Each structure stands twice: as structure tokens, then as C-alpha cells.
């Protein structure tokens, strides 16, 4: 793993302290076991700090694998490329959504109004009234926990309410699209 500068400095300091303790122990005639433990460990810490990478491998078996410095640079470069591609993909998604919205608006604007003998305002008002009355029935059924007089269930009324909401928002969007693209109304 690649080490940052702060960790490298800490490893170098630890290595210098351990090597210094080993030299001090040799000067004061400490046990050889102390020098055998401190000197290699201190040298390893110095090497890790100077090189800036920690080896991987199995300490028990004694094999160390040093990572390739250019491999890390290539990984960083590829990560940068992936980030750029992700940003480009996000931009394409935004453009696609905007294009999809425009195309849907154009299609809705070119669609003829429903053949119900109502003006746009009357149609929206009727859909809103139907939606509100159905919402009252659904709320009442939910609070009472019972069905309606004609045997219809809560789920049927709930589905009907969702269908009315869909029709209302579609009609509202169709009218906005007709105004946006200034398509003449062919009302009766």
C-alpha cells in the first residue's frame, strides 16, 4: 500500500529510534537478543519510510513482495479515467432525461384533446373533482376498515384513485405542452 508523507515520516522516526536504541544497547553491552530484535526492525521501518510502500507477503515464511511503483501510478490513472467516464455518463443521463421530457411534451402537445365536449379548464376541473371525491371515499374506507355499499373493496377504490391521478397529471402536462409549443386548440 502506498503511504502518505505523514506516515512515511512517522516510520522513519520510529526506525531511527529503534536503530538508535540498538546502537545504544551495543555501547552499553545489553543482551544480544535486544540488538537482534531492535536493529532489523528499525532498518525495516527506515526502508518502509524511505521507499513509501509497505510490502505484502508472509512474514512467517519470510517472503516479501514489494508493490510495483508504476503499477500504483497505472491504477491511479485508471481510477481517474473511470471517474471521468462516470461524470460523462452522468452528463449523458441528464441530457437523455431532458430529451425524453421534450419528446414526451411534443408528443402530448400534438395529441388531440379527448372527445368529451369539454374545454381544457373544465376537463381539469372535472378530473380534480373526481379525484377529490374518490380520495374522500378511500380515506373513509381506510378509517372505517369496511367496504362500500355496492361490494367494492378498498383496493379497487385505491386503484381507481391512482388512475384518476395519472389521468389528471397527464392532462395537465398535455395542456402545458400545448401552451409551451403554442399548438392551437381544437375545442368544440
- Write the pLDDT tens digit of every residue in 79-115: 999 999 999 999 999 999 999 999 999 998 888 878 8
Distance CA 92, CA 72 (A): 30
* Phi and psi angles of residue 184, each rounded to the nearest 5 degrees, phi first: -65, 140
Distance CA 132, CA 151 (A): 21
Distance CA 19, CA 45 (A): 10
Q: Encode 36-70: b = buried (16+ Cβ within 10 Å), e = exposed.
A: eebbebbebbbebbeebbbeeeeeeeeeeeeeeee
Instruction: Give mean pLDDT, residues 63-78.
Output: 74
pLDDT digits (tens, 9 = 90+) for 20-51: 998 888 888 888 888 888 888 898 888 888 87
Quick one: pLDDT at residue 63? 79
Amino acid at each position: 500500500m502506498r503511504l502518505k508523507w505523514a506516515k512515511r515520516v512517522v516510520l522513519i522516526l520510529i526506525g531511527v529510534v529503534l536503530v538508535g536504541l540498538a546502537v545504544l544497547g551495543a555501547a552499553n553491552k545489553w543482551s544480544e537478543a535486544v540488538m537482534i530484535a531492535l536493529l532489523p526492525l528499525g532498518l525495516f521501518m527506515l526502508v518502509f519510510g524511505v521507499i513509501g510502500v509497505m510490502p505484502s507477503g508472509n512474514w512467517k515464511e519470510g517472503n516479501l513482495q514489494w508493490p510495483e511503483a508504476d503499477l500504483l501510478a497505472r491504477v491511479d490513472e485508471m481510477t481517474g479515467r473511470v471517474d471521468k467516464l462516470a461524470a460523462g455518463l452522468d452528463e449523458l443521463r441528464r441530457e437523455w432525461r431532458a430529451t425524453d421530457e421534450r419528446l414526451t411534451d411534443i408528443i402530448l402537445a400534438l395529441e388531440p384533446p379527448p372527445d368529451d365536449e369539454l374545454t381544457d379548464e373544465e376537463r381539469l376541473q372535472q378530473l380534480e373533482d373526481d379525484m377529490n371525491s374518490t380520495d374522500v371515499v378511500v380515506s373513509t374506507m381506510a378509517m372505517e376498515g369496511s367496504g362500500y355499499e355496492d361490494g367494492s373493496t378498498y383496493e379497487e377504490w385505491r386503484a381507481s384513485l391512482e388512475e384518476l391521478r395519472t389521468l389528471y397529471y397527464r392532462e395537465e402536462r398535455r395542456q402545458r405542452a400545448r401552451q409551451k409549443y403554442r399548438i392551437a386548440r381544437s375545442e368544440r
